[in-house]
Amino acid sequence: MARICELTGKRPIKGSIVWRSGKAKKRGGIGTHVTAITKRRFFPNLQNVKAVVDGEVRFIRVTAKALKRGLVTKPPRRNYKKAAAAA
């Protein structure tokens, strides 16, 4: 399953891990130096959420940012009553 937000289209982006060695000059060293760079991916913070989409309730994968912005319309709460016990 693709790691893509169904509302905003946000997807993983490329980046890199940078390894450094040495002590910073302001901390009394001779400066830091890059020793290695490797590729990595930054994934969006996807959440499975029950939402109303085209008039029907279903689960969608959206980013936490879309939830905070209020882009998701939540379904109304179900309030089923228990059937009265026949005695």
Q: What is the pLDDT of residue 68?
A: 96
Radius of gyration of the chain (CA): 24
Residue 81 lies in a domain: no
Q: What is the pLDDT of residue 32?
A: 96
Residue 34 lies in a domain: yes
Lowest mean pLDDT among 18-22, 48-52, 75-79: 75-79
| Domains held by the chain: number | 1
Residue 43 lies in a domain: yes
What is the model's pTM?
0.71
Q: What is the pLDDT of residue 82?
A: 82
Residue 44 lies in a domain: yes
Residue 42 lies in a domain: yes
For residue 74, give the nearest of 87, 86, 62 by alpha carbon: 62
Mean pLDDT of 39-56: 96
Q: Measure the CA–CA gap between 79 and 25, rounded to whole angstroms.
A: 64
64 is in which domain, residue-wise?
13-69
Angle among Cα 77, 79, 80 to the nearest 5 degrees reads 140
Q: Measure the CA–CA gap between 62 and 71, rounded to whole angstroms.
A: 9
Residue 87 has pLDDT above 70, yes or no: no
Residue 7 lies in a domain: no
Residue 18 lies in a domain: yes
Q: What is the pLDDT of residue 58?
A: 94
Residue 80 lies in a domain: no
